[in-house]
Amino acid sequence: MSEEQEKNAENQPINDPNITHDINEQGKEEVEFEEISHLPEPSASYSWEWFQWYYEQHKQTIHYVGGGLLLVIGLIVGYKFYWLPSKESEAADEIFYAQSLFERDSFNLALKGGAMVRYSQGTKPMMGFEKIYEEYSYTKPGTLAAFYAGVCYMQLGKYEDAIKYFEKYDLNDEVLQPLAYGNIGDAYMELNKPEDGIKFYLKAANEKINLFTTPLFLKKAALTLERQKQYKNALDLYERIKKEFTISNEAKDIDKYIARVNTYIQTSNQ
């Protein structure tokens, strides 16, 4: 081979599929080598060798996903064990003063706040139940403030506002949750909406079956049904009280209500 042929051969590109050729701005050829994995996929899936191979093939994605999961876990732990307990404590401090005023029948002040009280940080205006719910609704004391706000509005004769706050209460406990529904029933009765009142009395009665709230609201529903001349439905509720809640206060004189409704039924059938 002549000297000129050897020189031309040296300048020819190498036809290797694993090498990428590029020409830069100066006209010089640049060569980039593709990374080749030397680990073949193991024949046995989910073996230790397969996991090693999979990690090598996807290590960058795995690192990103793992870091993201650790961040999410850290945020959840921080929220549940540090941030939320501190807010629960703050809300409990605030509701203490509002409850004190509520117990003294200062319903408007307990509702709206504004009285100067002494905190550990110094003297400042207290929050009322409305503000406590607004600021701390994600805490138990904050949600409890909604129940108290509903009672305050009931005492102040503002029944639509009372309904709004009782509907915000959702701690789902054995006594206050049925009482919240029952108070909504009372508010609807004050607004001359007996059908809505009956609906919420029955919801209160059946929300958490117990010896206190269930017969109480069954009887309220039955009395309202009587006034609506729905005697058979009222009788069913009175008989349920007699049968299922024999030692409740509502069952003590339930026979008199049963007899009265039976008289109405007989009279209407004549």
- Where do the structural domains in the chain lie, given as residue ranges? 3-33, 172-270
At 3 the pLDDT is 53
% of the chain residues with pLDDT over 90: 59
Does residue 30 contact residue 24 with C-beta atoms inside 8 Å?
yes
Using only C-alpha atoms, what is the Rg of the chain?
A: 37
Evaluate if residue 70 carries a pLDDT over 80: no
Q: Burial letters for 205-214: b for 16+ Cβ neighbours within 10 Å, e otherwise?
A: bebbeeebbb
Region 58-67 average pLDDT: 66
Evaluate if residue 150 carries a pLDDT over 90: yes
pLDDT band at residue 159 under the 50/70/90 scheme: very high
pLDDT band at residue 118 under the 50/70/90 scheme: confident
pLDDT digits (tens, 9 = 90+) for 15-52: 554 444 444 555 555 545 444 455 566 666 656 666 56
* 172-270 has CATH 1.10.1300.10 classification: no
Going from the C-alpha of 111 to that of each of 105, 122, 165, the distances in angstroms are 11, 22, 11
User: Between vectors from CA 189 to CA 188 and to CA 190, what angle results, nearest 5°?
Assistant: 90
What type of residue is 17?
Answer: P
* Alpha-carbon span 131 to 115, nearest angstrom: 13
